Structure formats: structure tokens, C-alpha cells
Amino acid sequence: MLTNPFLHWLDRLYSFVIKIGSNLQSLFILYMRLTWGHQLFLIGIAKLQSIDATIALLTSLGFPYPAFHAYGIGIVETVCGFLLFIGLLSRLAAIPVICAMLTALSTAHAPELSNFRFLFEPMKLVVQEPYPFLIMALIVFVFGPGRISIDAWIKRWVDRQPRY
């Protein structure tokens, strides 16, 4: 029990700030999922629609079996982008996105990130196209899809079912 009135007031203020931040967490994750999940979905669709250009890019980067990888990345970005957008199987969908974005950063964007320059010049990493998708997928994987998602709705529905 705090006896100092100033410390008591400071404790209440800090508790209030924590409560506000906790309530905004789901809205922030929803914003990230809607914004970047939608963009990932659109990019995946574009890659599948112009599959020849995607295959040519992967060929120039030296990928083995570029057609297989082009279709694979197009499907991963389309399906997982949609799942992240709607908040269904979110943590599972985040895993292939994380792998794909780390692969993209380490291959197509490797010259800009070589020699760990991004540790001392973070903007070299932040401006790379896969970076926001990687951050969004990491946030969803670590914190979940938030309370405003199909995953959360399913969890609430399952929790209300009788146990036998």
C-alpha cells in the first residue's frame, strides 16, 4: 500500500496508461493485418498474373527451379495475405510469410543489406519492400491476430461450448 499521495497518483496514472495501451493493442494489430495483409494479397495476385516476369526474376537471382518457386511464392503471398487480412489461421499463415520475406531480403535485396550495414544504417533495411510484410507477420505470430479477428471469434465460440 502506497502512503505517499504523489506515488499513489503516479501509480494510478501509470495503470490508466497501461489500460489504454492494452485496449489499443487489438486495433493496432487489426490495422497491421488489414493494411499489409491486403497489400500482400494484391502482390501475390500480381505475381501469379504475371508469372513469366516472376519466373524471369527468380531465374536472374539464381533460384533453382524458378517456375516452382514463382508459383509457390505467388500462392503463399496470395493465400497467407488473405488469411492474415481476415484473421483466420493467422499465426500459421504468418510462418510462411516470415520465411518468404526473410528469403526475399536475403536474396533479391542482399546487395543493400550486405555486411550487416543495416545494423548501423537501419534505413537500408526499413526501405526494402519485404520489410513491412516481415514486421506485420512477426507481430501477428508473436502477439496473435487480436480480438478483432475470425480466430478470436472462433476461440470465443469454442470457449462457450459445454465440456464433456
> For 84-127, how does the pLDDT look when each residue is reduced to its tens digit (9 = 90+)?
999 999 999 999 999 999 999 988 888 777 777 778 888 888 88
The reported pTM is 0.87
Is there a contact between 81 and 101 (Cβ–Cβ < 8 Å)? no
Domains contained in the chain, number? 1
Residue 24: inside a domain: no
Residue 4: inside a domain: no
Residue 14: inside a domain: no
Determine the pLDDT at residue 31.
96
Residues in contact with 83: Cβ distance below 8 Å, sequence separation at least 6, in sequence order:
37, 89, 90, 92, 93
Structural domain boundaries enclosing 113: 29-160
Residue 17: inside a domain: no
Residue 3: inside a domain: no
Residue 97: inside a domain: yes
**HEC profile for the chain?**
CCCCHHHHHHHHHHHHHHHHHHHHHHHHHHHHHHHHHHHHHHHHHHHHHCHHHHHHHHHHCCCCCHHHHHHHHHHHHHHHHHHHHHCCCHHHHHHHHHHHHHHHHHHCCHHHHHHHHHHHCCHHHHCCCHHHHHHHHHHHHHHCCCCCCHHHHHHHHHHHCCCC
Residue 22: inside a domain: no
Residue 101: inside a domain: yes
Q: What is the pLDDT of residues 7-62, one digit of tens each?
A: 889 999 999 999 999 889 999 999 999 999 999 999 999 999 999 999 999 999 89
